[in-house]
Amino acid sequence: MSDNKLSTGSGQPWGDNNHSQTAGVRGPVLLQDYQLQEKLAHFNRERIPERVVHAKGAGAYGTFKSTKDMSKYTKADLFNGVGKKTPIFLRFSQVAGEAGYPDTLRDVRGFALRFYTQEGNYDIVGNNTPVFFIQDPLKFPDFIHSQKRDPRTHLRDNNMQWDFWAHSPESCHQVTYLMGDRGNPASYRTMNGYGSHTYKWVTEDGTAYWIKYHFISKQGVQNMTDEVATKAAGEDTDYLLHDLFDAIERRDYPSWKVCVQILPYEEGLHYKHDIFDVTKVVSHKDYPLIEVGEFTLNKNPTNYFEDVEEAAFAPANLVPGIEPSLDKLLQGRLFAYKDAARYRLGANYEQLKVNRPLNEVKNYERDGFMSQGHGPEVNYEPNSKNGPVEDHSARIHGDQLEGQTGNYEAYETDNFSAAGDLYNVMGEDEKQRLVKTIKENLGVVDDENIKQNNFIKLILIMGSGWQKHWA
Ligand code: HEM
């Protein structure tokens, strides 16, 4: 179409976009007005299912630059060499609220980072906390139900979340983060991100290391009080989304240092905490942070739906030289995200703009709703037609395993020391704010059994310091 003229989805010129075809000036409308029908029908299909968790979010594009050659630890191309640039997309999010929920209210925040590498997309789907509430993927739907709305009242209910936590003591460490200052970041720009799980890096010669990712905000970590967060929520439900968008528009580009903790393979297996348990951390004293690069966000979405809503991050988006660890929760996540994407966006979600890798996709997957871009090439393998072949250099490193199949309790049973350690590194002011928040949060719980359970647990965890603040 020329001269900026309106057209239908099939490209025909659009004669009138303001007046339906009617039988005479007073109507009724005519069935033959196919443009009216198409417009109403398309509108009815504008909404897709929102993400079942992390529905509210904000995203931006940017660039990662490596500052240290890590080829000694991984063959992953993006970390090999100094000064290598890789395009990225990052989506920040709330966990529990729906897409229209105020984004300042206390919650863990998502930190989903995609690298568009030369070897395909690599996603690190993390949070702004280094740990998580549960260790077993079987518990995830129950945990999320307790964070969302009551089936009868359709209200969010502190009784539900404290009830779940009270019966899931492994959540104690993450609850301490959530009720602490980090539960209310002042902006997405001023929070750190974490890969949270342990991942595996593998070198060209097959040597493996265990890795923890840390993304350190160069803006500094800043949080807000509950009072400020509540006021912000009342004034602007999109406060954090607004802040990120505005900063990038005025070219105040936020950036983060990318750091890793590296544990030699055997040493990691025998570390004092279970490194495959995402409720635990690895001490920075034992394994200091090593800076490997930094990334900057410098481009806002051009269309929020296509760039942010259609983004399908997945912990299973890995590249050669980076593998999952044995972490049970991570193993569950390897399945969950791509399955969610197929439900939310359809079987061919990887063909959508924001999910398309830089390199050309060559495989034998075909067809399905909205399939695009496949020509007459051979669609089976093996074949004698010069079709794409396996790249054995991308085979997994693998782990030596032993044991009997079964349903096991967590390997490490101490659920409280890690939370106590976190409490003990907090300053006096922060400790007081944590206690105040938990007190207020528990104040609206009306089930005495839940209250008592948590009282006892938290007093045990935080020892005398806790009791002093509670009094
Ligand atoms: C078994 C445990 C978990 C399951 C089953 C699970 C499942 C999901 C699902 C289904 C989504 C929505 C995906 C979509 O529709 O595109 C999601 C989003 C997300 N999850 Fe999880 N999750 C789990 C644990 C975690 C953990 C431990 C973290 C962080 C350390 C995390 C961080 C995120 C983030 C950041 C998003 C939003 C991604 C985006 O911005 O699109 N999740 N999760």
| Spatial distance between the Cα atoms of 203 and 396, rounded to a whole number of angstroms | 11
Contacts of 205 (CB under 8 A, 6+ apart): none
Phi, psi of 150 (to 5 degrees): -65, 135
Decide whether any atom of ligand 1 lies within 6 Å of the 352 Cβ. no
Decide whether any atom of ligand 1 lies within 6 Å of the 312 Cβ. yes
Give pLDDT tens digits for 115-132.
Answer: 999 999 999 999 999 999
Radius of gyration (C-alpha) of the chain in whole angstroms: 25
Nearest CA to ligand 1 atom 23: 333
Decide whether any atom of ligand 1 lies within 6 Å of the 458 Cβ. no
Domains of the chain in sequence order: 57-132+185-357 (2.40.180.10)
- What pLDDT, on a 0 to 100 scale, did the predictor assign at position 448? 84
| Spatial distance between the Cα atoms of 462 and 360, rounded to a whole number of angstroms | 54
Nearest CA to ligand 1 atom 28: 126
Decide whether any atom of ligand 1 lies within 6 Å of the 329 Cβ. yes
| Spatial distance between the Cα atoms of 289 and 283, rounded to a whole number of angstroms | 10
Is the model's pLDDT at 226 over the cut of 60?
yes
CA nearest 138: which of 110, 108, 168, 96? 168
CA of 177 from ligand 1 middle (Å) equals: 18
- What pLDDT, on a 0 to 100 scale, did the predictor assign at position 1? 44
Q: Tell which atom from ligand 1 comes closest to the C-alpha of 312.
A: 16
Q: In what helix (H) or strand (E) does residue 122 lie, and over which residues does it extend?
A: strand 120-127
Return the structure tokens found at 287.
């394994």
DSSP code, position 308: I
Residues 274-305: b if buried by 16+ CB within 10 A, e if exposed: bbbbbbbbbeeeebebeebbbbbbeebbeeee
Nearest CA to ligand 1 atom 19: 54
Q: Kindly report the three-state secondary structure assignment for every residue of 178-247.
A: HHCHHHCECCHHHCCEECCCCEEEECCCCCEEEEEEEEEECCCCCECCHHHHHHHHHHCCCHHHHHHHHH
Average pLDDT over residues 20-27: 96
Q: Residues 433, 441: contact at Cβ < 8 Å?
A: no
- What pLDDT, on a 0 to 100 scale, did the predictor assign at position 450? 83
Give pLDDT tens digits for 293-334.
Answer: 999 999 999 999 999 999 999 999 999 999 999 999 999 999
Give pLDDT tens digits for 137-148.
Answer: 999 999 999 999
| Spatial distance between the Cα atoms of 377 and 386, rounded to a whole number of angstroms | 9
Average pLDDT over residues 13-24: 96
- What pLDDT, on a 0 to 100 scale, did the predictor assign at position 455? 62
Task: Calculate the alpha carbon distances from 241 to 94, 113, 149, 191, 255 in Å.
Answer: 11, 16, 23, 14, 16
CA of 123 from ligand 1 middle (Å) equals: 12
Q: Side chain identity at 333, as an amino acid letter?
A: R
| Spatial distance between the Cα atoms of 191 and 209, rounded to a whole number of angstroms | 27
- What pLDDT, on a 0 to 100 scale, did the predictor assign at position 461? 61
Decide whether any atom of ligand 1 lies within 6 Å of the 177 Cβ. no
Q: Which residue has the higher pLDDT, 460 or 119?
A: 119
Q: Which of 92, 107, 125, 214 maximizes ligand 1 atoms within 8 Å of its Cβ, making it the mutation to test the pocket?
A: 125
| Spatial distance between the Cα atoms of 119 and 166, rounded to a whole number of angstroms | 44
Report CA torsion sign: 423, 427, 432, 433: negative
Place of tokens 């942010």: 308
CA nearest 172: which of 407, 434, 409, 432? 434
- What pLDDT, on a 0 to 100 scale, did the predictor assign at position 439? 84
- What pLDDT, on a 0 to 100 scale, did the predictor assign at position 457? 65
Q: Tell which atom from ligand 1 comes closest to the C-alpha of 92.
A: 40
Nearest CA to ligand 1 atom 4: 333
Catalytic residue ranges: 54, 127
CA of 53 from ligand 1 middle (Å) equals: 7
Nearest CA to ligand 1 atom 32: 126
CA nearest 317: which of 77, 124, 89? 124
Q: Residues 194, 213: contact at Cβ < 8 Å?
A: yes
Decide whether any atom of ligand 1 lies within 6 Å of the 175 Cβ. no
Is the model's pLDDT at 28 over the cut of 90?
yes
Give pLDDT tens digits for 175-213.
Answer: 999 999 999 999 999 999 999 999 999 999 999 999 999
Q: Tell which atom from ligand 1 comes closest to the C-alpha of 93.
A: 40
Q: Which of 194, 337, 354 maximizes ligand 1 atoms within 8 Å of its Cβ, making it the mutation to test the pocket?
A: 337
How many Cα atoms occupy the beta-carbon half-sphere of 398 within 13 Å? 5
Phi, psi of 257 (to 5 degrees): -85, 140
Q: Residues 145, 292: contact at Cβ < 8 Å?
A: no
Q: Interior CA angle at 56 toward 51 and 61, to 5°?
A: 95
% the chain with pLDDT above 90:
87
Decide whether any atom of ligand 1 lies within 6 Å of the 196 Cβ. yes
Q: Residues 131, 182: contact at Cβ < 8 Å?
A: no
Band the pLDDT of 460: cuts 50, 70, 90: low
Q: Kindly report the three-state secondary structure assignment for every residue of 323-352.
A: EECCCHHHHHHHHHHHHHHHHHHCCCHHHC
Contacts of 421 (CB under 8 A, 6+ apart): none
Q: How far apart are the first and last CA of the chain?
A: 73
Decide whether any atom of ligand 1 lies within 6 Å of the 127 Cβ. yes
Give pLDDT tens digits for 399-447.
Answer: 999 999 999 999 998 888 898 899 889 999 998 899 889 888 888 888 8
CA nearest 126: which of 248, 216, 209, 64? 216
Burial of 178 (0-12, 13-18, 19+ CB in 10 A): buried
- What pLDDT, on a 0 to 100 scale, did the predictor assign at position 464? 47
- What pLDDT, on a 0 to 100 scale, did the predictor assign at position 3? 84
Estimate to the nearest angstrom the gap between the alpha carbon of 85 and the chain centroid: 23
Band the pLDDT of 452: cuts 50, 70, 90: confident
CA of 467 from ligand 1 middle (Å) equals: 35
Q: Residues 383, 362: contact at Cβ < 8 Å?
A: no
Contacts of 9 (CB under 8 A, 6+ apart): 38, 42
